[in-house]
Structure 1
Amino acid sequence: MNAGEITIDFAPEQDLFIAAARRGGRSTVRIDGVSTLGHLVEALGVPLTEVGALLVDGRAVIPAHVPIAGQAISVLAVTRPQRRAEPLRFLLDIHLGTLARRLRLLGIDAAYENPDIGDAALATRSATERRVLLSRDRGLLRRREIFAGAYVYSHRPDDQLDDVLSRFAPRLAPWTRCTACNGALRAADKESMRGQLPGSTEQTYDTFAQCVECGQAYWKGAHHARLDEIVANAEAKFGA
């Protein structure tokens, strides 16, 4: 069905998702008089998780709006920081394991599914636990049942972390979560750790922490300098 045409322009931040011919200005799109604006935007490639607002002739509308011929549509980018009501909790897909561990290092609640449980189960967990789903899979982010979602724009873990922290501005509480399972950490004395530590660790170190969920032990070992650097960079950029 041809119900006429509308004009539509996307924010530069959304160029990644759309065809080159629609970038950098307004383009014409045919409509059927039935499909919603949200459906149209996603059909053109942009997940609604990456839309800050939809304007029709300068007026904000909801994704359920059905456009009519002659309307001018503007698809705005997400405003950063994108504040959400606390508690802010994340769910990451199988491809974002390093990002999950870094978020946990900063004390951010970051559930991670490994092995892959499939898109349907991820979406259901997002909805059930009210977690923001982080993914580089546009199709997954278009699933209607997710609670909320966000596209992770980079392949590089450093940039991924900056992306999530700048977008959501979560409260940072470094060294309070287990990077292995996302559980809470508690201080542990050397006596309580006897028999649980590898090699000469028990003789070399005096300060420990332990996960209350999985029992994983933590101490300031050789890898700690790199973790300190990640924490320091995050606090310097986003700690406020």
Structure 2
Amino acid sequence: MDSTEIWLSLAPELYVFVAPAHRAERSAVRADGASTLGHVVQSLGVPLTEVGALTVDGRQVPAAHIPTGGEEISVQSVARPQQLSGPPRFLLDIHLGTLARRLRLLGVDAAYENPDIGDAALAARSAGEQRVMLSRDRGLLRRREVWAGAYVYSHRPEEQLRDVLSRFAPPLAPWTRCTACNGMLRDATKASVHEQLRIGTQRTHDTFAQCSDCGQAYWQGAHHERLAAIVDEAVREFGTPSPTRAP
């Protein structure tokens, strides 16, 4: 047997990241005797944000382990719900605007950068504010500055939302955040937001909320039924929230 060859078993959930040759119960990978196991896994295309337990010959090891020839290595996917060292707060890249709005609709702290500020600035913000970086960009998730990250597997917003909620189990508080800027909502009078209202809205609505940060006004408008359906489905599947308003 080649002394530089190790045997790698990847969790099926990670197959999406690797070449077909490694989508097997066991595949051979070269080890140079200097690179860490984390580096080896990433070199195959798997972001470390998606990696859970690592075992070598049946014993758990850190990503800093240096593989040697003949080792049997198992790479698991992240256990759900994923434990964080801080509250579940998120940062989303330019391509996940719809997901950001849906998370905010549920009261989840979801920062979103538009226009794009670039990978380096996103990674720095993730670190500075201790936010989980959500992205479909593997290169961004591989940046060392990222405090924590998660690959968003689907292109479909409804599947993206379920993925994030099942992975991190953030507390839900629907209708408490501004979907435009992520600020917190407060009760508002009709008089205080009248400049944002059309004549018909002023006649037919009496209950309003307003963002404490950007001033955006909210009420139960034409899209409320569709938004309420998103909220109801998320609450049914991922837990009962505390009592909240429904602007």
Residue type at the aligned position of 2:238: F
Q: Which residue number in structure 1 is paired with residue 93 of structure 2? A: 93
The C-alpha deviation readout for 1:179-220, integer Å capped at 9, x for no partner, is 000000001111222223234211110000000000000000
Task: After TM superposition, list the pairs within 5 Å mapping 1:173-188 onto structure 2.
Answer: 173-188=173-188
Match of 1:115? 115
Greater CA drift, 112-121 or 76-85: 76-85
Partner of 1:53: 53
Rounded to whole Å, the distance in 1 between the matches of 2:146 and 2:36 is: 19
Which amino acid counterpart does residue 16 of structure 2 have in structure 1?
L
What residue is the counterpart of 1:19 in the other structure? 19
Count of residue pairs brought into register by the alignment: 239
| Structure 1 counterpart SS, 2:66 | coil
Give the C-alpha shift of residue 86 in structure 1.
4.1
CA distance in 2, matches of 1:36, 1:12: 22
* Residues 86, 30 of structure 1: alpha-carbon distance in 2 compared, 3 angstrom cutoff: closer
| SS of match in other structure, 1:200 | helix
Distance 2:217 2:191 in 1: 13
Q: Indicate the residue corresponding to 1:168 in structure 2.
A: 168
- Residue 30 of structure 1: CA displacement? 1.1
> Deviation at 1:4?
1.2
1:79 alignment partner in structure 2? 79
1:161-240 → structure 2 map (5 Å cutoff): 161-240=161-240
SS in 1 for 2:195: coil
Task: Find the aligned partners of 2:45 and 2:85 in 1 and give their Cα distance.
Answer: 28
Aligned-pair CA distance for 1:84: 2.0
1:26-65 to 2 correspondence within 5 Å?
Answer: 26-65=26-65
Instruction: Work out whether residues 3 and 70 of structure 2, in 8 Å CA contact, stay in contact via their aligned partners in 1.
Output: no
Distance 1:211 1:72 in 2: 54
Check the 8 A contact 1:181/1:214 in 2, yes or no: yes
> What secondary structure is seen at the aligned counterpart in 2 of 1:75?
strand
**Stretches of 4+ moved more than 6 A in 1?**
none
Structure 1 gaps, min length 5:
none
The TM-score with structure 1 as length reference comes to 0.97
Residue identity over aligned pairs, in percent, reads 69
**Is 1:106 the counterpart of 2:106 in the alignment?**
yes
State the secondary structure of the residue aligned to 2:178: coil
Task: Find the aligned partners of 1:69 and 1:129 in 2 and give their Cα distance.
Answer: 41
Shift, 1:113, TM fit: 0.5
AA aligned opposite 2:142: R
- 1:7 and 1:28 in contact (8 A); partners too: yes
* 1:101, distance to aligned residue in structure 2 (A): 0.1
* Distance across 1 between alignment mates of 2:51 and 2:97: 26
Distance 2:56 2:193 in 1: 62
- SS of equivalent residue, structure 2 residue 94: coil
Between 1:198-207 and 1:114-123, the stretch displaced more is: 198-207
Quote how far apart the aligned CAs of 1:221 are: 0.5
| Structure 1 Cα separation of the partners of residues 227 and 110 of structure 2 | 17
So what's the TM-score if we normalise by structure 2?
A: 0.94
Quote how far apart the aligned CAs of 1:152 are: 0.5
Q: CA contact under 8 A between 2:90 and 2:110: conserved in structure 1?
A: yes
Displacement of 1:42 after TM fit?
0.2
**Structure 1 residue 3, shift from structure 2 partner:** 5.6
Assess if the C-alpha contact under 8 Å between 2:94 and 2:112 holds in 1: yes
2: CA distance, partners of 1:85 / 1:204: 46
Contact 1:3/1:32 (8 A) holds in 2:
no
3-state DSSP of counterpart to 2:231: helix
Gaps of 5+ in 2: 241-247
1:5-29 alpha-carbon deviations (Å, 9 max, x no partner): 1100100000100011111211111
